[in-house]
Amino acid sequence: MDDKIGVFLCTGYGIAEALDVEALRNVVTGECEVPFCETVPSCEGSDLAAMNGTIRREGFTKVVVAGISPRAYAGDAFPDGVIVEKVALREHVVGCQPPKEEDTQMLAEDYLRMYLAKVKKMAPLAPFRPAEPLDRGVLVVGGGLAGLTAALEAARAGATVRLVESTERLGGWLGKQHRSIPTKPPFRDLEETGIGELVEQVTSHPRIRVSTSATTASISGGPGLFDVTLRSTGNGKPAGEVIDTFRVGAIIQATGWKPADPRDRLPWGRQPGVILNVDFEEIVRAHGRPVHPVDGRPVRSVAFLQCGGSRAKEHHSYCSSICCLTTLKQALYLRESDPEAKAYVFFEFLRAPGLYEDFYRRVQEDPGVFFTRGEVTAVEPAPGGGLLVSAKNAMLGESLAVKVDLVVLAAGLKPNSADGEAIRALEGAKVAVVKGENEQQRKEAAEKIEKLKAHEGTEILNLRYRQGPDLPALEYGFPDSHFICFPYETRRTGIYTAGAVRQPMDGAASREDATGAALKAIQCVEMTARGEAVHPRAGDTSVPDFFLQRCTQCKRCTEECPFGVLNEDEKGTPLLWVTRCRRCGTCMGACPERIISFKDFSVDIVASMIKAVHVPEEYEQSPPATTASCSSAASTATTISATS
C-alpha cells in the first residue's frame, strides 16, 4: 500500500471537555494501526493552515480530521489530490450526547474506526475527461413563447443556440392570439402579444440559428456531446429528408401544449356553434371581432363553459390554470365588439391566480359579462336559431337556461410530450409478439400493444437512449422531474423542459420558466466540461466504475437507472455515458454481482464502515445502532439541529 494516512484530532469546540482525547488517540494508533495522530486546537484559520502544512510536509495521501462537520469547510480547505474525510465530532457526538459518559466516548471512537475504515478503502477520484472536446451549445426544441425566450436568454448569456420549430413559422400559440391577457398592474387592459418583436429578436440574433419546418430525427450522446440530426417536415424539402447534423451541449424542450378537446365526450359536444377557445381566438384574430363560424354573422351572445365543459377525472383531472384567464379575455373581445353583447361564463371554480384577480374583477365590472357556477346539462338548438344552454346548480343553486349564438368550451392544456418509456414498452411488446417464447407471452404482448397503441409514432426528441426515445412522462404526461424541488429538471441529464410542456402555465410564467431552463442548460455544459455532476449532486467528480468482466448482462442497471445513463450493446452489456450520470448510485444498488462502484463509495466501503463499529459483548443498556442518512438532506438536518 502506498497510502500514507494521517489523523488529526481536534480538541476545540468543547470536544476535549466532553471526550477523553487520549483514549481516542489510542484507538487510532493502537487498534487502527495508524501511526500519525496529532491533536489540533481547532479546524479553522491558522490551525487549518498548520494542518495543511503538516499534510504537505508528511506527504499524506489520506487524512481523517475528527472535529467539525464537512459542511463547515470551504471547498478548497485542503490540498488537491489528498483524500480528506471529516468526522463531525462536534455535531454528531459532543453536540447531542452527555459529556464524559462512557457511551459518548464509545460513539466518538466508533466514528473514528468507521472513517478510518472508509479512507483505507477509498481511491483517488479520476474526473471524466472525454477524448473529444465538449460542445457548449444549446438546442432548443419548439419555437413558441417558451422556446423563443429560452433561445434568446441562452444566446444573451453567451451560448450558441440552435432553435428547431416543426411548423413553418415561429410564435406558437401566442402567435395565434388576437390579444394577450394583461401582464402588468393594474391588470385591466388587454395587451398586444409582443410575439412579433420576440421573433424578430431571435431571428436577428447572431448566436441563434433557427430551423423551421424541422424536427429532431435523432439525438445521441449525452451532455456536452449530444449529436443531433434534423429532418424536414416537408415544407420546401421532401418530408423526412435529413437537413442538418450538429453537436450541442444541452437541450431545452419547449414543445408547448395542445388543447384537450372534450367534444367527443360530451353528448352535446358535436354540433355547429360549439367550438373550442382556441378556435374562437383564431376567429377573432382573423375577423377582428367574434363571428359565427358557420354563417360568418357577428356573434352577440356567447356561453363560455369553463373546464372544457367537462372537468371529469377520466378526461382532464387537473387545472390548466390559464383557461379561465383566456375566457375573461375572450369575453372582453365580445363586449368590445358590441356594447349590447352578452357573455355568460359557467364555471365550477373560476381561477385567476395571483394578481390576475384584478383582471377578473375588471371583467366582472363589465355590465355584459355574467358569471355563474353551474353544471351544464344540455346544449341544444334553440327555437328560432342559436343555442340553448341549460345548467343546473347555477345561480343560487337553481337551474337556468340562456340563449346564445355560440358556445365556447374553455379547453384545457395537454402537454405536447411523448412518453419515451411507453414508446419503448410498445416497441418491446411488438418484438415479443413475434419472438415470444410461448403463447401466454405473445398474448400478453398483444394486450400491451393494444393498451399502448396511442403512443405509436408520437416521438419528439428521438433520443438514442436505451430507456426510450423521449423524456419519461410523469403525472398527466408532463415530462417533469419534480416541479417544486427541481424545476426544469427532467429524468434525462442535460435535457431541460420549459413552458407549458412542463406544467400548465401562462405566458409570464413561460418566459420565466424558459429563462430558468436556459441558465440550467448553460450550467450543465459548464459543469460537464469540468467533469462534475449536475444537480442534485452538483460538483461531484466521481464516476461509477463497471467491472465488466464479471457482468452477467442481467440489465438491471440499464433498466433501473433513473436518468437513462446506460445504453446497452447487443448482448445487453451496459455502456456508460458518463456525462449523463448524476452519481445517484442506483446502479450500484441494482447490480446483483456488485461490480459497480465509485472510488469514494462502494458496497465494500459501506460494509467495512459498518463492520468497524465496535460491538460490546454486553449492550443491553445501550445497543449500538447505525443509520444511513442522505448527505444532502437528513445528514444536514441532524448536523444543523446538533449545533442549534
Taking the least distance from each CB to other proteins, the nearer of 346 and 598 is: 346
Q: How far is the CB of 367 from other proteins (least distance, A)?
A: 4
Q: Select from 118-126, 163-171, 312-320, 386-394 the region that touches other proteins (CB under 8 A).
A: 386-394
Q: Where are the alpha helices (DSSP H) in 308-438?
A: 323-337, 356-365, 420-435
Q: Is 597 exposed, middle or buried (0-12, 13-18, 19+ CB in 10 A)?
A: buried
C-alpha neighbours within 13 Å on the C-beta side of residue 546: 18
Taking the least distance from each CB to other proteins, the nearer of 301 and 528 is: 301
The answer to whether the beta carbons of residues 84 and 65 sit under 8 Å apart is yes
Q: Is 515 exposed, middle or buried (0-12, 13-18, 19+ CB in 10 A)?
A: buried
**Going residue by residue from 515 to 544, which x/- string records binding to other proteins, judged by CB under 8 A?**
------------------------------
Rounded CA-CA distance 495/138 in Å is: 10
Taking the least distance from each CB to other proteins, the nearer of 230 and 369 is: 369
Taking the least distance from each CB to other proteins, the nearer of 50 and 401 is: 401
**Given 3, 33, 189, 380, the residue binding other proteins (CB under 8 A):** 380
Binding to other proteins (CB under 8 A) within 402-431 occurs at 402-403
Sheet (strand 83-87) strand order: 36-40, 5-10, 62-66, 83-87
Binding to other proteins (CB under 8 A) within 265-324 occurs at none
Q: How far is the CB of 368 from other proteins (least distance, A)?
A: 6
Enumerate long-range contacts of 183-186, CB under 8 Å, 24 or more apart. 183/507, 183/508, 185/355, 185/358, 186/358, 186/362
Q: Select from 74-82, 387-395, 536-544, 578-586 the region that touches other proteins (CB under 8 A).
A: 387-395
**Considering CB under 8 A, how many residues would be counted as binding other proteins?**
30
Binding to other proteins (CB under 8 A) within 330-349 occurs at 340, 342
Taking the least distance from each CB to other proteins, the nearer of 157 and 400 is: 400
Rounded CA-CA distance 19/272 in Å is: 85
Q: Where are the alpha helices (DSSP H) in 453-555?
A: 507-529
Q: Where are the alpha helices (DSSP H) in 530-628?
A: 556-560, 586-590, 603-612
Rounded CA-CA distance 45/47 in Å is: 5
Enumerate the β-bridge partners of residue 9. 39, 66
DSSP state of 422: H
Q: How far is the CB of 169 from other proteins (least distance, A)?
A: 40
Q: How far is the CB of 324 from other proteins (least distance, A)?
A: 14
Taking the least distance from each CB to other proteins, the nearer of 393 and 573 is: 393
Q: How far is the CB of 183 from other proteins (least distance, A)?
A: 22
C-alpha neighbours within 13 Å on the C-beta side of residue 599: 11
Taking the least distance from each CB to other proteins, the nearer of 76 and 340 is: 340
Taking the least distance from each CB to other proteins, the nearer of 122 and 394 is: 394
DSSP state of 167: S
Binding to other proteins (CB under 8 A) within 348-377 occurs at 361, 364-373, 377
**Phi and psi at residue 586, to the nearest 5°:** -60, -40
Taking the least distance from each CB to other proteins, the nearer of 45 and 383 is: 383
Q: What is the DSSP string of 62-73?
A: EEEEESS-GGGS
Q: How far is the CB of 347 from other proteins (least distance, A)?
A: 11
Taking the least distance from each CB to other proteins, the nearer of 64 and 352 is: 352
The answer to whether the beta carbons of residues 491 and 471 sit under 8 Å apart is yes
Enumerate the β-bridge partners of residue 567. 575
Q: Select from 214-222, 310-318, 385-393, 619-627 the region that touches other proteins (CB under 8 A).
A: 385-393
Residues 6+ apart with CB under 8 A from 94: 13, 14, 15, 18, 19, 104
The answer to whether the beta carbons of residues 408 and 312 sit under 8 Å apart is no
Binding to other proteins (CB under 8 A) within 388-407 occurs at 388, 390-392, 395-396, 398-403
**Going residue by residue from 180 to 219, which x/- string records binding to other proteins, judged by CB under 8 A?**
----------------------------------------
Q: How far is the CB of 369 from other proteins (least distance, A)?
A: 8
Q: How far is the CB of 185 from other proteins (least distance, A)?
A: 18
Q: How far is the CB of 311 from other proteins (least distance, A)?
A: 19
Binding to other proteins (CB under 8 A) within 548-587 occurs at none
**Given 157, 243, 382, 474, the residue binding other proteins (CB under 8 A):** 382
Residues of this chain that interact with other proteins (CB under 8 A) are 340, 342, 361, 364-373, 377-378, 380, 382-383, 388, 390-392, 395-396, 398-403
